[in-house]
């Protein structure tokens, strides 16, 4: 069975209660959950019947225990989660406007996940990447490590690729996570040069390379497979068989919350590629799931809201995404 290693950070999520943001009630009411871009993708991968392990570090507190239990209940593997005594997970708060657009506020500078690349167990964790078919991480993942940690991680990914593991990089750029854009651009260039598949968007790349055309932005990415999502619900694809444009089906329900739209797209795309679909059909699957996710509040929609499972032709492990 094909397997995916998702690397990143999960945080405590505080989400503004529906209706409060327009009621003029300041603080309002918030519900508590858990979320993080790569963790969201891991959950959706598990729901799409992909074997997935999450790589991160957490504390030994009650919230960290709840997180691990929740991931396991979703079918996400937790054997690669390191536990650090005395540390805590990060926290973020989501506010959404009447159109479902969200704003994030973070408290995460001392979160346990930031230590993952400099622990006694780090070498063992990184060496295990060679046993997976796909390694998936985002620019947010890379932003929480220092330069030495990123170099260590890239080295492990390159070793794993020599044995047939594929590296999927999701740009998911958040300026506040980087000391400046020059550092971010340098790290993105290294990731683009290493990745087998890049999932990106105009929102991410124009923040780093303002004023460039779609063609110029895509030309910056040498990866053999590229999914470039536009501001409208359209993806431009480049892959070994050529290029294509994939348009999402029209929405039939109102948009409630755009949180995890890109994360769920990534999960459906990866799952479809692992199952043997070509990039065009995989992008259609990504748009279908993302279009559903944004109709519900929060990053993870209820299990009953997931689309019916679609059977793909059998795929050969490690070769399905080529």
Helix axes 62-74, 37-47, angle to 10 degrees: 30
DSSP structure string for 48-93: TT-EEEEEEEEESSHHHHHHHHHHHHHT-B-TTEEEETT----EEE
Q: How many CB atoms lie within 10 A of CB 103?
A: 11
From 105, 67, 114, 68, select the one nearest 87 (Cα to Cα). 114
Helix residue spans in the chain (DSSP H):
37-47, 62-74, 122-127, 139-143, 147-162, 181-194, 202-208, 214-219, 261-274, 279-293
- Compute φ and ψ for 157, nearest 5 degrees: -65, -45
Residue 169 near residue 38, CB atoms below 8 Å: no
Give the three-state DSSP class for 105.
strand
- Compute φ and ψ for 10, nearest 5 degrees: -110, 140
Angle at 133 between CA 238 and CA 218, to 5 degrees: 20
CA 31 vs. chain centroid, Å, equals 22
Query: Is 263 noted as a catalytic residue in this protein?
Result: yes
Set 37, 133, 257, 263: catalytic member: 263
Residue 289 near residue 265, CB atoms below 8 Å: yes
Residue 78 near residue 71, CB atoms below 8 Å: yes
Task: Tell me the C-alpha to C-alpha distance, in Å, between residue 116 and each of 7, 83, 148, 203.
Answer: 10, 10, 12, 28
Please list the active-site residues. 263
């Amino acid at each position: 069975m094909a397997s995916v290693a998702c690397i990143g950070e999960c945080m405590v999520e505080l989400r503004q209660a529906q209706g409060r943001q327009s009621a003029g009630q300041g603080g309002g009411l918030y519900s508590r959950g858990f979320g993080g871009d790569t963790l969201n993708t891991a959950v959706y991968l598990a729901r799409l019947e992909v074997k997935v392990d999450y790589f991160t570090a957490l504390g030994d507190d009650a919230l960290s225990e709840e997180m691990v239990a929740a991931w396991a209940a979703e079918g996400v593997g937790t054997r690669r989660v390191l536990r650090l005594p005395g540390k805590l997970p990060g926290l973020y708060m989501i506010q959404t406007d009447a159109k479902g657009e969200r704003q994030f506020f973070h408290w995460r500078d001392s979160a346990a996940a930031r230590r993952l690349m400099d622990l006694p167990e780090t070498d063992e964790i990184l060496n295990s990447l060679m046993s997976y078919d796909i390694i998936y991480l985002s620019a947010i993942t890379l932003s929480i490590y220092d330069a030495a940690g990123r170099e260590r991680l890239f080295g492990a990914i390159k070793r794993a690729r020599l044995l047939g593991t594929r590296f999927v990089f999701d740009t998911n750029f958040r300026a506040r996570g980087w000391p400046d854009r020059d550092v971010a651009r340098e790290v993105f260039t290294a990731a683009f040069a290493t990745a087998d598949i890049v999932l990106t968007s105009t929102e991410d790349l124009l923040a780093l390379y303002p004023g460039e055309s779609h063609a110029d932005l895509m030309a910056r990415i040498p990866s053999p497979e590229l999914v470039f999502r536009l501001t409208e619900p359209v993806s431009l694809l480049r892959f070994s068989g050529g290029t294509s444009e994939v348009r999402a089906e029209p929405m039939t329900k109102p948009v409630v919350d755009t949180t995890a739209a890109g994360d769920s797209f990534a999960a459906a795309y990866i799952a479809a590629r692992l199952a043997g679909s070509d990039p065009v059909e995989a992008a259609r699957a990504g748009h279908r799931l993302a279009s559903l996710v944004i109709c519900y509040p929060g990053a993870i929609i209820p299990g009953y809201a997931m689309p019916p499972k679609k059977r793909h032709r059998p795929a050969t492990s490690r070769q399905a995404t080529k």
